[in-house]
Structure 1
């Protein structure tokens, strides 16, 4: 469930007064998602999405998140384009929180077992388009979910890790050891970088009539190596619900991506470790959420084993990029 802030028609009417979107007809909460509160709102000019930013989204980061959405939309990327307020601002305040209205994107995400090779190819090509289209976006934001954050989360949860998955601590420590040896040297290599989505999961990429129709949820976007964003996307798309790698999906995504942006030699050389690193990033947050969520939380924690299985897979089966 993703309605953490309850709104009534008076709240939404008051917020709409800052826009030229017509009169509110009806609204409904959007139950999918786990980070922010979202509502479909219907006015006499159309259907829109109202997002109330919850605790993890800092107001200081909104110029990057919302600005990137607008920048990519201007480059014909089908993002959840933000509708400016009458004063030109991209967001306002609602019940003491920041909030924004975006266009409605038709389509839906895809469940892990329903992903097709064609969708992987389309997602890979779109990811490359986004990486290229981000050039010229001048706002900067470091990756706040980078290696140091993973280490911090691991420090909080390492002593409990094996109670969740036996043998997890040894495996994770091995990956950290490999990363710590290599990560400082990345700046000396030729790794293209720029604005990336960093949450390009199948539930954030919409398809309609077998065509990619929209991209949502830019709230982990940051400046990062493109090869890291590609590796994270592969981990999100190329495994089924049982955490088994589907080679045909991997091949399709790589072909789609490299059709527009072929990897260079430095990227190919680090690709296997990036696949492990990006899986570790998700594993650290999911393990933390699993161990620390309150019992009455409306969000059900993700499977704390799925991305650990991805790490095991890539350590046993280095990719041929």
Structure 2
């Protein structure tokens, strides 16, 4: 398995730091003498001390005693560190060959996946950033990406079946995110069609689906996922403070984003092999706006009706005021 790509920067790491942390986290023995580190890693004293200091600066608690040696003590910091990500990927045992590329700052994780996909990158690419400068949601709306507080990632999939139906992948991904959050202890999460992850009426996250072609002309899917994880209300801009929420705001305690990343990847891997009928059944159970009134504009006309669910293609089914049924791919509301 290819490890995470190391992007050098304040929030990422040097190859020596990567090697040392991976060694400390992967060994069940726990504590290691300095001599043991020297012999096991083929590093010199200066390199090891430098890497230990770098890890401490990033929030890792490095415990040491002359008799017992070094160990990484809990709690681990909320940092998406390449060494820990690589170990997590090895333990997930997924069918999709996930390969994570980690950036400190990027324009948009979705833009990066689209660029790499056009150049021939294969299925399983995951691009994660600590911060996005031009993060976006559906219909080009901006997505606030507070530094190191949310989970901002985009995945590349190459389904064997064609043509691709983007809406079905939005539903599959939103189900996976809700299942991941449920499994990590956040129960009152729902899905608002088409792509919003919500708690009550507040937005917790969203899904962005885009498609393009690689060098072999085969179409691929870019699944952008944004989740508010450890933001407090003050981290949201004024207009969003009454509309957005985070895992921290709902639970009253923070969550390690790398653990959420792992759970989302695991759930997407499981759901990727399901039929759309199975996904639809799961999705309908999590839909929060079913049988509710909706009002929106479509092709210049104002439409009012009641949401009745989704069809076999993933389109929204609306019963209009006159009793007729109409289906919509997207809503302008």
TM-score by length of 1: 0.30
Give me the TM-score of the superposition, normalised by structure 2: 0.29
The one of the two structures with greater contact order (alpha-carbon pairs below 8 A, sep at least 6) is 1
Larger Rg, first or second structure (1 or 2)? 2
Q: Which has the higher strand share?
A: 2
Structure with bigger helix share is: 1
